[in-house]
């Protein structure tokens, strides 16, 4: 929110400049609003942060945004590395996220690629929707009220022992330490992506998992 040219307009100008079109951009706003997230998705913004900024959150966001695509654990976080994969078919995805703004942004990113999205607000909701919906993939936030993503994943994996059908589950969390990734994989998740979600990293991860399933 700036005079003359606001952050969104400036981002649009940058995106239209061939010399800077791939520049990584983080939007910072004092207003946490869904339409702002929609604009970010349209402009290919890497992250959307609300003021006042927490130093650790800002530092983490910058680190994730600038991290090279070949960093991290190859088997879980970057299963596509070194391989050319076929185009990803449209998927039916369960998005498990308790924050409505994050829900809207992730839904826009996924639907823009042709995927259909079912939203669950917490782990309990995710377990129920897993039973009732025909799904290809679950994007599971880790920290949520009612039931967290780790517990929801364990319950889903137990239920699959009866059905014999295993669904792919990708963890989404703001924590980016090696131990956090190990905990997610131990709970039965197939891969791990850090928040703020990088669209390119997310789709690389999804494509690698789907191709291997």
Q: In terms of C-beta density within 10 A (0-12 exposed, 13-18 middle, 19 or more buried), how is residue 195 classed?
A: buried
Of 66, 97, 113, which residue constitutes the final position of a domain? 66
* DSSP state letter for 172: E
Of 15, 42, 66, which residue constitutes the final position of a domain? 66
If asked whether residues 27 and 88 sit together in one domain, one would say no
Of 18, 37, 66, which residue constitutes the final position of a domain? 66
Q: How far apart are CA 8 and CA 182, in angstroms?
A: 37
**Hunting for tokens 């239209």 — which residue is that?**
16
**Structural domain contains residue 151:** yes
**Hunting for tokens 């956090």 — which residue is that?**
180
If asked whether residues 62 and 88 sit together in one domain, one would say no
Which stretches of the chain drop beneath a pLDDT of 50? 69-83
If asked whether residues 82 and 151 sit together in one domain, one would say yes
What are the φ/ψ torsions at residue 33 (nearest 5 degrees)? -135, 150
Query: Both tokens of residue 205?
Result: 């991860």
How many residues are listed for the chain in this entry? 213
If asked whether residues 166 and 128 sit together in one domain, one would say yes
**Structural domain contains residue 207:** yes
Domain residues for the domain of 35 are 7-66
- Give the chain's domain count: 2
If asked whether residues 36 and 120 sit together in one domain, one would say no
pLDDT of residue 75: 38
Q: Minimal CA–CA distance to 96: which of 85, 86, 110, 75?
A: 110
**Structural domain contains residue 1:** no
Q: How far apart are CA 109 and CA 107, in angstroms?
A: 5
pLDDT of residue 40: 77
pTM listed for this prediction: 0.67
Query: Both tokens of residue 22?
Result: 């791939």
If asked whether residues 27 and 124 sit together in one domain, one would say no
If asked whether residues 88 and 149 sit together in one domain, one would say yes
Domain at 125, CATH number? 3.40.50.2300
The answer to whether 101 and 37 are in contact (CB under 8 A) is: yes
**Structural domain contains residue 185:** yes
């Amino acid at each position: 929110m700036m005079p003359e040219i606001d952050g969104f307009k400036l981002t649009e100008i940058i995106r239209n400049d061939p010399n800077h079109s791939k520049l990584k951009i983080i939007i910072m706003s004092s207003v946490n609003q869904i339409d702002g997230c929609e604009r970010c998705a349209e402009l290919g913004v890497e992250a959307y942060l609300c003021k006042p900024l927490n130093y650790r959150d800002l530092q983490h966001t910058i680190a994730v945004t600038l991290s090279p695509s070949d960093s991290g654990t190859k088997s879980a976080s970057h299963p596509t590395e070194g391989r050319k994969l076929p185009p990803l078919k449209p998927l039916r995805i369960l998005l498990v996220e308790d924050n409505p703004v994050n829900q809207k942004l992730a839904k826009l990113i996924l639907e823009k690629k042709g995927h259909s999205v079912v939203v669950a607000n917490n782990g309990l909701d995710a377990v129920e929707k897993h039973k009732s919906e025909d799904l290809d993939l679950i994007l599971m936030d880790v920290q949520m009220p009612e039931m967290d993503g780790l517990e929801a994943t364990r319950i889903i994996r137990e239920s699959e022992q009866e059905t014999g059908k295993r669904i792919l589950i990708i963890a989404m969390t703001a924590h980016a330490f090696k131990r956090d990734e190990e905990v997610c994989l131990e709970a039965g998740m197939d891969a791990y992506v850090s928040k703020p979600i990088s669209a390119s990293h997310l789709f690389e991860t999804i494509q690698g998992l789907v191709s291997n399933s």
